[in-house]
Amino acid sequence: MSRRLLPLLFLFTTLSAVGDDAALFTLYKNRVAPIIQGSCIGCHVSGGRASSTRLVYASGSSTSVQEANFDRVRSYIEGNIKTGSQYMFVNKGQGQGHGGGNRLSRAEDVQAVTDFIDAIALSLSDGDEDGVTNDLDNCQDVANADQADLDQDGEGDACDADIDGDAVSNTDETAQGTSPDEADSDGDGVLDGEDALPLNASESSDRDGDGTGDNADAFPDDPAETQDSDNDGVGDVRDAFDEDPFEFEDTDGNGVGDAADPDDDGDGYSDAEELAEGTDPKNRFSCKSGCFSFDVDESQAAQPLTDGLLVIRHLFGFSGDALTSGAIAGLAGRGSSELISGYLTGADAELDIDGDGKSEPLTDGLLLIRYLFGFSGEALISGAIGTGAERDSAEAVEAYIKARVPGQ
């Protein structure tokens, strides 16, 4: 130990002894003094039968009398602890080799006296030998004579896993670059543990958790968007024209934004015509005629076990329940057997996938269901092309179906 530290250590030791006394004295006054007054002082008093022992008490209830008796008992018990007979006081009181017999017959009295002895023993111990006894040491196993406790949580900094008390451990703070001994590392008034961006003084919240603070985030509740360069209300990620405030989507992908494109979905019917006819101007499979789709149930996707099955059943001549049973997707826009029958009957020419002049289940129906199951090449067309078919190669069949399937 350096010479400069010695006086410091001495100071703390003295201070702690005072605190020590206060806690012990309270314990004594509340729980031990009444026992001594009631059960012991009759003999342990000047002129009494135990007047020649080391335990002669003053009688009375004034504070100075209490303090004098406290000093007596305490130094008596400390002596016992040092000579290895820690519980002599309670043992004698209970009659063990005691000239006065058993004077502690009540269990709570035994408990009170034992607690007092234990507290004194604790006040004498100092596991980490830092000069602060265990009962007062805010860090009993790591020497910390200064007892520094930044966050005042009763755990000394030397052994506090979260020195600054900001709810982020020292280890995590070091790892994330915040300061383990500053509760608000960026000084924005929000503790590190509650600050979504603890190293950014202008941000403390990130509601959508996208890493951009709410203040800088043009879409604080949308984790997919943070910026809106053209200020049109549509984020740059989704905005097909992020520098053009008048455009953000291009349904048919022809490079002309929908706002400027007279035929958004490129199905050959202008938006104005579609609006007048009640069809969807942004869906190339929705128009008065000629934009047929194999998404028969209008679920936004063509699938083998719904749309494929519907087509093959229709071509076999089924209608009503036999047509649709178990073959309609959960979110179908066209869900009734009447509508589906009507739709497929009206589109009979479109169903002639191989182009042999007839729409049939075991050629056209099979081609569609195989295609939708992902077959291609020979596996797609094998045994399923009608005689005299206009489209008799896998490529031609694939191209024909592909042009009539949403999202492809």
Query: Which residues have C-beta within 8 Å of that of residue 111, sequence separation ≥ 6?
Result: none
CB of 87 to ligand HEC, least distance (A): 10
Contact characters 39-68, ligand HEC, x per CB under 6 A: xx-xxx----xx--xxx-------------
SS3 45: strand
Is-contact 324 340, C-beta < 8 A?
Answer: yes
CB of 70 to ligand HEC, least distance (A): 14
The C-alpha angle with vertex 229 and arms to 245 and 209, in degrees rounded to 5, equals 130
Structural tokens at position 2: 């350096």
Binding of ligand HEC by 93 (CB under 6 A): yes
**Alpha carbons 403 and 246: distance in angstroms, whole number:** 30
Binding of ligand HEC by 100 (CB under 6 A): yes
CB of 142 to ligand HEC, least distance (A): 37
Which residues on adjacent β-strands are paired with residue 57? 45
**Binders in 266-285 for ligand HEC, by CB under 6 A:** none
How many residues make contact with ligand HEC (CB under 6 A)? 21
Binding of ligand HEC by 72 (CB under 6 A): no
Interacting residue with ligand HEC among 24, 32, 104, 329 (CB under 6 A): 104
> 98 exposed, middle or buried (CB, 10 Å; 0-12, 13-18, 19+)?
middle
Binding of ligand HEC by 117 (CB under 6 A): no
CB of 104 to ligand HEC, least distance (A): 5
Which residues on adjacent β-strands are paired with residue 156? none
**Alpha carbons 125 and 53: distance in angstroms, whole number:** 27
Binding of ligand HEC by 33 (CB under 6 A): no
Interface stretch with ligand HEC, choices 37-45, 274-282, 353-361, 371-379 (CB under 6 A): 37-45
The candidate with the shortest Cα–Cα distance to 31, out of 94, 132, 101, 118, is 118
- Residue numbers of the site for ligand HEC (CB under 6 A)? 35, 39-40, 42-44, 49-50, 53-55, 88-89, 92-93, 97-100, 103-104
